[in-house]
Structure 1
Amino acid sequence: MTLKLRGDPDRDWTDAFLDDNPIPVRVATRTPSGGLWMLSLWYGYDADDATLHLATSASARVVEYLEADPEVAFEVSTNHPPYRGVRGQGTATLEPDDDKALLRTLVDDYLGDRDSDLAQWLLRDDRDEVHVTVDVERAYAWDYGDRMRDVDARRPE
């Protein structure tokens, strides 16, 4: 599928931003009753096919929601000036992550190693994991670095 990209940054900037920032993705979906649901998940990005790869527990509510309606909206953005990010829409598919291969990669990316209590808890044998692939269909990228150049230095800690 060809990614439809809008915004000032080009595809190379967008791919690099999504690939190089350990910022959780915010994912919005619908519940089976038609309500809205948003959550943050760790992700990896594959620039070759414009896909986000998310890990979540097999018992998480979002698994049920995505099985009922695979359409999602997402955003990966910085929380401090200068603001930059990518938001968009896509379609999710789910498959078991039986050997936790994706989760292991994400633990390494986000935590740096697998030694913490959190890493051990996430990777425990009795936890069933799901690999969610989001085929990004549309995206909008932004980088307010130039217009916020003087704000960056005044950012509160």
Structure 2
Amino acid sequence: MTEFRGTWTEDDVETFLQETTVPIRIATRRPDGSPWIVTLWYRYRDGALECATQANADLVRFLRHEPAIAFDISTNRVPYRGIRGNGTVEIDSDGGPVLRDLVERYLGGTDSPLAEWLLDEEREEARIRIAPDEIYSWDYSDRMGAGSSDRTA
């Protein structure tokens, strides 16, 4: 069960995750113990965060070795707001459907050279499913002013 702390209610967090199309930053450890951070597209489904990446990516190997992670999803423009937390990762080989949804979410469709490259049938994709243990939200809108209300901020 996810523990929610910070400025927003659980419903506010879910709305932010559904409507905001900034990438997730995932922090993990390499097998030698050194820290590693990566940025990926995500979708929020049934209380979990889902990403896709190439099945042979270093990240997949790192997460198989150490499934405990920390994450951050936050806007890059004023007013700054977002969530951070920690959780556990599960990886499976069914990343294709997730990737298609992510391409549509972040690129607005599948009709572009990048989308075609990402969705090439020759690519093997892994699904990364993050089960959050703790989510902490913050929103600096009151002290920073309205600023940009762009959902991709």
Give the TM-score taking structure 1 as reference length.
0.91
* Residue matched to 1:117: 113
SS class of match (2:104) = helix
Q: How does 1:21-40 map to 2 (within 5 A)?
A: 21-40=20-39
Are 2:52 and 1:59 equivalent residues in the alignment?
A: no
Q: C-alpha distance in 1, partners of 2:52/2:115?
A: 13
SS class of match (1:33) = coil
Q: Which runs of 5+ in 1 are unaligned?
A: none
Q: C-alpha distance in 1, partners of 2:72/2:78?
A: 16
Q: C-alpha distance in 2, partners of 1:96/1:147?
A: 44
Q: Which runs of 5+ in 2 are unaligned?
A: 149-153
Aligned residues: 148
* Residue matched to 2:91: 94
Q: C-alpha distance in 2, partners of 1:89/1:121?
A: 31
- Which amino acid letter does the alignment assign opposite residue 130 of structure 2? V
Q: Displacement of 1:5 after TM fit? A: 1.0
Displacement over 2 Å in runs of 4+? none
* Residue matched to 2:125: 129
RMSD (CA atoms)? 1.2
SS class of match (2:77) = coil
Q: Displacement of 1:9 after TM fit? A: 1.2
Q: 1:141 aligned to 137, 142, 152, which one?
A: 137
Q: Percent identical across equivalent pairs?
A: 43
Q: C-alpha distance in 1, partners of 2:52/2:121?
A: 16
